[in-house]
Structure 1
Amino acid sequence: MCGIAGIFHLTTPKPVDPARVERMCTAMAHRGPDGQGVWTAPGVGLGHLRLSIIDLAGSPQPMASSDGRAMLVFNGEIYNYRELREELRASGAIFRTDGDSEVILAAWQKWGPACLPRLHGMFAFAIYDLEGRTLFLARDRLGVKPLFYAPLSDGSLAFASELKGLAAHPLLRREVDPLAIEDYLAWGYVPDHRSILAGVHKLPAGHSLLLKHGTALPQPAQWWDVSFAQRRQGRAADLEAELLHLLRQAVTSRMVSDVPLGAFLSGGVDSSSVVALMAEASRSPVNTCSIGFDEASLDETAYARLVAERFGSNHRARVVGSDDFEQVGTLVAMFDEPFADASALPTWRVSQLARETVTVALSGDGADEALAGYRRHRFHHAEERVRGVLPGALRKPLFGALGALYPKADWAPRSLRAKATFQSLALDGAEGYARAVGFAPPELRERLYSSDFLRERGDYRAEQVFVDLMRRAPARSGLDRAQYADLKFWLPGDILTKVDRTSMAVSLEAREPLLDHRLIEFAAALPEGLRLRGGQGKWLMKQAMRRYLPDEVLFRPKQGFVTPISQWLRGPLAGAARAIGSSAPLARTGWFDGAALGRIAEEHISGGSDHGRLLWQLLMLDRSLARLGIIA
């Protein structure tokens, strides 16, 4: 696990100042405390930060191929590198190291861009071909590892693992893309098709970019996608056995490490399954850690202890409280772009805890997206059945009226909060699901924006990209399309961004076995009833794991890594909530109606409405823009 950066001149191959590449790397020093290197040639410069995981004494980067014709900088892990090395060695490749970096170089030299489907793992890398005078950038299938890039005014293109690496380049403009504000308010993060800074791009997951001196910047090329269009046949018992095999394969392949290794353990199905399979494959106790909350209703550490005791792991736990808010500046610095998923705070804290004893930690991320584990999947599946019975001409006016009339009862039990369901049923499936995934719906954003910002935003609506993605999905059903959009949009933009930044902030490598692409492709082809059955998401996975885990872990209501931010913003953080509409720098941008922000804060503090997520979202936007130097 590492950080990479570089500069490539698209037009004239001008000299690259090594000090400039070094500054870009230094801005991301947390990603690789074990080594730093820079290499330059006419028109190109590559930089690398190393966190040593495999082949500790060897594999320095930037790395030259055995014949000196190609140079590599690489962030990530290739889990099948040993098998690939043997295949390449049989065809004449020469290896001088024991790591996976040199395998990527040899694979590139043999197969070119076609090497990508052969690589099993998480990665973002750059290869400069000295003979072809080309730069090849690539990102893994699901976007576990990030890669930012930006064309600059001197005709060059700069790239880096994090935005702060690009921001260290003096030619990068620090001008906010106003459409990114619309995207952020809608989703709680800036999705991969946009950046908070105008002119900055993110290489999409499963895409590559081939650059050549003297040519224009091309569009990224997609090299991998997942399809929900096929259905696996066979008995449920046989599919369950195949799923279990894929789970074991995914976990054991990610346990290869030359440094101490452990796991995050929340006590939920996914992380508990990973720990169970790690314990099965390990000769020594697994190192596990968990984070609890000072709000008892949201604390899951008892379940984590139960699983830890069951498998005899070396388990440690800590508690996150409202006083952790004092670390919000540190949290903002990790992400560069505004990021409002409040679970980033406990994810960072559990990464800190893990890093005290291990350098690699396996997480349980990915199963919800692949196997329909979110509560919203269950609701969407039920709503799609209603849409299938009632034609739109009847459904839209009926449920539109009910959605308008029904009160927004944030204080009521969840079963009585029908307003969102009525509003969703008035829309088609893609539009309804976009509302379910989003943070602030369109009508709420309209209330918050100033008239000047509404004119600047124009006709753009953040949900449209998501809706189009669902409508174009290779899928058979509404549930398929929802899961496809989660894997392509929500997963890289929110979940994987959160885990990458919080873990790398403490120089910890996080690995996601449940995102093994073979497991993802298998899950996408399962019949709906094996993903979601009887109100239970991840149905087949839960059946497969019954031999390892008790029903009280497998079948308890899904809680997620929920932070008690709403409670904090009514209590010890009420002052910060009130400041959003008045004294905060955000109020001076001209993007928002200050009076509307103030009303939102007071409604939340009084308990009349729950605007906790929105207030946290605005707070994080305020602090992020201040850090980027956009507002003071």
Structure 2
Amino acid sequence: MCGITGIFDTVSARPIAQAVLQRMNESQHHRGPDEGSLHIEPGVGLGHKRLSIIDVATGQQPLFNEDGSVVVVFNGEIYNYQELIPELQALGHVFHTRSDTECIVHAWESWGEDCVKRFRGMFAFALWDRNRQSFFLARDRLGVKPMFYALLDDGTLLFGSELKSLLAHGGVHRDIDPYAVEEYFALGYVPEPRTIFKQAKKLPPAHTLVIRRGQPIQVPREYWDVRFSLDNRISETDAQHELIARLDESVRLRMIAEVPLGAFLSGGVDSSAVVASMARLSDGAVNTCSIGFDDPAFNESEYAQMVADRYQTRHFQKTVRSDDVDLIDTLAHLYDEPFADSSAIPTYRVSELTRQRVTVALSGDGGDETFGGYRRYRLHMMEEGMRSALPDSLRRPLFGLLGRVYPKADWAPRMFRAKTTFEGMARTSVEAYFHSMSFVRGSIRSQLFSKALKSQLAGYSAEEVFHHHARKAGTDDPLALIQYIDTHTYLVGDINTKVDRASMAHSLEVREPLMDHQLVEWVATLPSSYKLRGPVGKVLLKKANEPYLPADVLYRQKMGFAVPLARWFRGPLRERVREALLEGPMLDCGLFEPTAIRDLVDQHQAGKRDFATPIWTLLMFDAFLRCTMGQTRTALAA
């Protein structure tokens, strides 16, 4: 695991300033504290910060081919590199290291842009081929590893593992993209390919970008996508056995390391299944780490302990205070752009704990999207059943009216909180799913956004992000459709972003066996009934793991990695919320209506409404303005 960055002159071969490249590279020191190197030649500068995992002795980067004409900087792991080496050697390539990085330069020489199709792993890399005068950027299929880039006005291309490395160059305009603001407040993150800044982009997952000096820059090219065919006729019993075999293979590949290795163990199904697999494959005890909360409503540590006891792991646990509110500015510095998933706090803490014991940790991320585990999937499918029972001509006006007139009863028992259901019933499937996923609902965004911001948006809604992916999904199955959308949005923009930044802040490499693309492809062929059946999600994963995990772990109610925001904002963060949101840059940036923010805060703190999520979303935007933009009382928008 590493940090990469660099500069490429797309027009000519102008000199690269070493001091600038060094500054960009050092901005990501946390990603690779073991070593740091630069390569500079006319028109090209590559930087690398290394966290040594594989081939510790000789795997330094930037790394070259035999004659030095191809050079690469790489972040991630190619898990099948040991299979690729003899194949590439048979094609005449000579290896000078035992690293997976060297596979990339030789694979490029033999297979060109299609080399990425041969790689199994998590990766983001940049490669310069002097003979072909070609610069190549690539990102793994499921977006585990990040890649940011920006084209400057003079034709200079910058890239990096984090947005901060681009900003360290000094040439990126910090003009906020109004569409990104809308998407952030709707989703809690800025989805690919956008960033918070107009000039910077994210390379989408499963995409490559090739740039030939002196030629027009092409759009990124997609080289892979998951297809939910749902046409596999395998029996459920056989599928259970095959799933365990595939999971074990995925875990085995991710246990290759020359440094201490362990696992996150939350006590949920996904991480517990990964730990059970590690135990099956290990001769010794597995290292496991978990976070507990002093608030019982958010504490899963007893379930993690069950799994640890069953497999006699070396288990390390730390209890986090439920008022652990000191990380807000730290998170803003880590993410560089607004990021509103509050579970970034416990993810940061579990990464901090885990790094004290190991350098590599396996996680259960991706299991909910692949196997159908989210509670919202069950609710969506219930709504789908009702939507399909009524014609649009009756359903949309009837439930649209009910959604408008029914009160928002956050205080009431769940059975009486029907407003969201009514609103969902009045929408199409994609519209309803977007509505249920929205951090800040459309009506509240409309109140919060200033006239100037709404003018710049010109009617644009972040709902278009979901429609864009829905058009590509290639399935009418209602569960598969939202799984596809989540795989391209929430998994990448939220989960993978959160884990990458939180873990790399502590120089910890995290590997995700449940995001192995071959495993994901196979599960996508299985019927949706193997994933969600009535009130039970992740049916196949749970059934397959019944011999290996306690029933209390497999079939308990999902808790998630949450923090008690509503209580924080009426308690320990009460004054901080008022100070941050009711004065300073949030008032003067020109993006928001001050009276709407004040009304929202007052209602929440008076206990009249639960606006915890919108407040946290605003709070993290304020932290971005202060920490990344350096704003105090300066306007950002006209």
TM range (shorter): over 0.9
Q: CA RMSD in A?
A: 1.2
Deviations 1:97-136 (A, max 9, x none): 1110001111111111111111000000011101001011
1:125 aligns to 2:130 (yes or no): no
**CA distances 1:581-617 after superposition (whole Å, capped 9, x unpaired):** 4224212112111111111112111222111111111
Give deviations 1:14-33, integer Å, cap 9, x for gaps: 11122221111100100000
Q: 2:340: which partner in 1?
A: 340
The code of the aligned residue for 1:553 comes to V
User: Which residue of the partner structure matches residue 587 of structure 2?
Assistant: 587
Contact kept, 8 Å, 2:581 with 2:618, in 1: the verdict is: no
Quote the sequence identity (%).
48
User: How do 1:586-605 residues align onto structure 2 when only pairs under 5 Å count?
Assistant: 586-605=586-605
Return closer, same or farther for 1:175/1:630 CA change in 2, 3 Å cut-off: farther
The residue matched to 2:326 in structure 1 has which SS? helix
Match of 2:190 in 1: 190
Compared with structure 1, are the counterparts of its residues 564 and 310 closer, same or farther at alpha carbon in structure 2 (3 Å cutoff)? same
Kept in 2, the 8 Å contact 1:31–1:507? The answer is yes
Tell me, which stretches of 5 or more residues in structure 1 are unaligned?
A: none
Contact between 2:378 and 2:534, CA under 8 Å: does it hold in 1? Answer: no
Aligned counterparts, 1:252-271, within 5 A: 252-271=252-271
Aligned to 1:207: 207
Residues 182-205 of structure 1: CA distance to partner in whole angstroms, max 9, x if unpaired? 111101111112111111010000
**Is contact 1:18–1:40 with CA below 8 Å preserved after alignment?**
yes
The one-letter amino acid paired with 1:448 is L
Letter in 1 for 2:253: S
SS at 1:546 equivalent? coil
Q: Distance in 2 between matches of 1:311 and 1:53?
A: 26
Partner residue in 1 for 2:37 = 37
User: What is the correspondence of 1:606-617 to structure 2 with a 5 Å cutoff?
Assistant: 606-617=606-617
Q: Does 1:436 align with 2:440?
A: no
1:475 aligned onto 2:475: yes
Aligned residue for 1:305? 305
Query: In structure 2, what residue type is equivalent to 1:66?
Result: E
Give the Cα–Cα distance (whole angstroms) in 1 for the partners of residues 39 and 538 of structure 2: 47
Q: Secondary structure at the match of 1:395?
A: helix
Given that 1:580 and 1:598 are in contact with CA atoms closer than 8 Å, whether structure 2 keeps it comes out as no
Distance 2:630 2:119 in 1: 40
2:256 alignment partner, SS class: coil
**Rounded Cα–Cα distance in structure 1 between residues aligned with 2:384 and 2:285:** 45
Q: Which residue in 2 is equivalent to 1:352? A: 352
Q: How far apart in 1 are the matches of 2:406 and 2:454?
A: 27
Alpha-carbon displacement from aligned partner over 1:255-283 (angstroms, at most 9, x marks no partner): 01000001111100000111111111111
Q: Which residue of 2 aligns with 1:137?
A: 137
Q: Tell me if structure 2 keeps the 8 A contact 1:175–1:630.
A: no
Look up the equivalent residue of 1:609 and give its one-letter code: R
- How many Å apart are 1:383 and its aligned residue? 1.5
Rounded Cα–Cα distance in structure 1 between residues aligned with 2:307 and 2:367: 18
- Separation (CA, whole Å) in 2 of partners of 1:153 and 1:471: 33
Q: CA deviation at 1:322?
A: 4.7
1:176 and 1:197 in contact (8 A); partners too: yes
Q: Secondary structure at the match of 2:307?
A: helix
Letter in 2 for 1:239: A
Say whether residues 1:24 and 2:24 are aligned partners: yes
Other-structure match for 1:364 = 364
Which position in structure 1 is the counterpart of 2:166? 166
Distance 2:468 2:398 in 1: 25
Q: Distance in 1 between matches of 2:417 and 2:576?
A: 28
Correspondence list, 1:83-122, <5 A: 83-122=83-122
Structure 2 residues without counterparts, runs of 5 or longer: 633-638
- Distance in 2, matches of 1:457 and 1:500, equals 30
What corresponds to 1:628 in structure 2? 628
8 Å contact 1:134–1:212 — kept in the other structure? yes
Given that 1:322 and 1:572 are in contact with CA atoms closer than 8 Å, whether structure 2 keeps it comes out as no
Structure 1 residue 234: Cα displacement: 2.1
**Which has the larger displacement, 327-336 or 257-266?**
327-336
SS in 2 for 1:324: coil
The number of equivalent residue pairs is 632
Query: SS at the partner of 1:56?
Result: coil
**What are the Cα deviations for residues 521-575 of structure 1, in whole angstroms up to 9, with x where unaligned?**
1111110110101311110010000010111100111111111122111111111
Letter in 2 for 1:172: V
Moved more, 3-12 or 447-456: 447-456
Q: Which residue of 2 aligns with 1:236?
A: 236
Per-residue CA deviation, residues 204-261 of structure 1 (Å, 9 max, x unaligned), is 0000000111012210000010011342112111111111111111111100100000
Question: Which position in structure 1 is the counterpart of 2:72?
Answer: 72
Shift, 1:323, TM fit: 4.6
Q: Measure the CA separation in 1 of the matches of 2:471 and 2:218.
A: 26
Q: CA deviation at 1:47?
A: 0.8
Tell me which amino acid in the other structure corresponds to 2:6. Answer: G
CA contact (8 A) 1:34 1:49 kept: yes
Superposed displacement of residue 329, structure 1: 1.3
Supply the distance in 2 between the matched residues of 1:609 and 1:184 (Cα, whole angstroms). 22
Give the equivalent residue in structure 1 for 2:446. Answer: 446
Check conservation: 1:586, 1:631, Cα contact below 8 A. no
Counterpart residue type for residue 114 of structure 1? D
**Which residue is 1:510 aligned to?**
510
- Counterpart residue number, 2:464: 464
Q: Shift of the alpha carbon at 1:416?
A: 2.8
For 2:559 and 2:484, the matched residues in 1 are separated by 22
Larger mean CA deviation between 234-243 and 549-558 belongs to 234-243
TM-score scaled by length of structure 2: 0.97
Distance of 1:174 and 1:299 partners within structure 2: 40
Paired residue type of 2:254: R
* Equivalent pair of 1:176/1:630 in contact (CA under 8 Å): no
Kept in 1, the 8 Å contact 2:251–2:278? The answer is yes
Q: Which amino acid aligns with 2:368?
A: D
Look up the match of 1:526: 526
Shift of 1:580: 4.2
Farther-moved stretch of structure 1 (178-187 vs 265-274): 178-187
1:264-303 equivalences under 5 Å are 264-303=264-303
Structure 1 Cα separation of the partners of residues 444 and 462 of structure 2: 13
The structural deviation recorded for 1:472 is: 3.1
Instruction: Tell me the alpha carbon deviations over residues 342-394 of structure 1, each in whole angstroms, 9 at most, x when there is no partner.
Output: 00000000000000010001110001001111011111112122222211111
Residues in 1 aligned to 2:630 and 2:424: alpha-carbon distance in whole angstroms? 36
**Residue matched to 1:222:** 222
Out of 403-412 and 80-89, give the one that drifted further: 403-412
For residue 207 of structure 1, what is the amino acid of its counterpart?
H
CA distance in 2, matches of 1:30, 1:581: 31
Cα distance, 1:154 vs. partner?
Answer: 2.3
Distance 2:410 2:302 in 1: 28
Cα distance in 2 between the residues matched to 1:230 and 1:333: 42
SS in 1 for 2:244: helix
How far 1:55 sits from its partner (Å)? Answer: 0.6
- Residue matched to 1:577: 577
Local SS of the residue matching 2:324: helix
Shift of 1:579: 2.6
Secondary structure of 2:400 counterpart: helix
